[in-house]
Structure 1
Amino acid sequence: MRFAEHFINMVWNLVSNNWYSLLANGQALGFFKSTRGVKQGDPLSPALFILSSEVLSRSLNKLFEDKAFVGFGMPKWSNPLNHLAYVDDTIIFESAHPDSLKKVMAVLGSYERISRQLINKANSSYYMHANVANSLFQAGRDAIGFARGEFPFTYLGCPILYTRRRKDYYNDLIKKVKAKLYYSKVLDPPDNILEHLHKSFARFFWCTKEQGRSRHWAFWQKLCLPKEEGGLGFRSLLNVSRALFAKLLWRIITTKSLWYNFMCNKYRKKELPTVV
């Protein structure tokens, strides 16, 4: 990456000059030198990780300079693409051409040798369209060495699929929403918490980025009105919270359960149910 020799020597001195000691009964038993890595919490660690990831990214992009390399099929005028990476999660796009797959694996092998970071093959998979011939599946498995995965799979929390959107593809989303609904059903969050959530919703609706200032062209309360009244029909969490609280209050009044008996005897007694 054309770093100056001075920078390389400085980084190497920091990495190779780590000493550790073991404590036994509160006493240090000598020191020993680390053979790899930096100290935990060292601010240099994320910088080195980013540099090593940049080496992998550039090496994969350099494959396009090889005329014999057959990459992932892209629209005619779009930029070539063969990988996306976020932290330590990397997804590589590639054709089923066996020789090209071997070149990709050669880049990954070279990265392992240089960085001493090993690919977790147990958590890595390769994916192909269901209509691909079995011979290509076999050739891909022989070239890659990973287990075959099935669509859809999740990358950075987002389901990746190519077929029609079936309900079972979104089971994780349904479970998460139901969990949040249950949380709202049994607790009554303060109004300031709900207002904070409303601000987050409004920022998501009006802003193009998470941070920074933006112009909100209408109040959130206005957007929560029905469309017939000039709003967009968004749900107000304040109204939802009141409705769920009313349902909880109805359970207190009508349900004769162990929970009801405890709550009434401890908190309600002769007071109104709303006091609880």
Structure 2
Amino acid sequence: MNLDFIRGCDNLVSTEDNHLLTRYPATEEIKMAIDSMDPNSCAGPNGFNGPQINHLSCADDFVLFTSADKFSIKLMMNLLGLYQNDFGQEINNDKTFFITHSKTNRIYNKRIRRWTGYKQSSFPFTYLGCPIYSGRKRISYFSDISKKVLNKIAGWQGRFLSPGGKATIIKHVLQSQSLHIFVALMPPVTSLYEIEMQFGNFFWGEKDGKISYHWSSWDNMSYPTKEGGLGSRVYLTSIILLLLKDGGD
């Protein structure tokens, strides 16, 4: 395209104006802009006049690590007390617990219960949807994640859905529901196979209260649509690809 006609147009922005528009702001200008902002609002798309903050956006579960001596525990309890007083959020003592090594003397565990007022628990426990455990992986540790997927399937099982609708739910709802957890914490392969088996049962449906015959295995159904599959990847393959992507970045 010939753009020679632009040369005949008048310049509306002078060289001095262009220099002022492209230069970096001075420290005083940044300070004046920040001081002029409303302290009860956050930045919007244009940097100013954002919505008022009325909720603390953070995870409501925390894992704290400390030593078992009296000084460290008392210091932690004082910090938790300051947090409750300053932010107005109270810690739920019924849901709060502490965990020590399995070989810790009972006397120390009793002292910790007395100093904190919290109950004692043991591994495994769930933190932000992920099972936290000690030792080797067990299938039972990931049963809660599998149950969430199965409950989701049960909610859609009784509805009349076309094969294309079921394929869309599997790819964009069921698989993505727990994929980020599996990437953060690689589960046993058996747990993945059990979930994929439920995907196949959901796709082929039920008849007279019995699971319909699977005319194709889940591995074959996971091929791309151009090759006759549903386009949904095998769980294990998706996890490995995401792990490689995170490692490459």
TM-score by length of 2: 0.47
Larger relative contact order (CA 8 Å, sep ≥ 6)? 2
What TM-score results when the alignment is normalised by the length of structure 1? 0.43
Structure number with higher strand proportion: 1
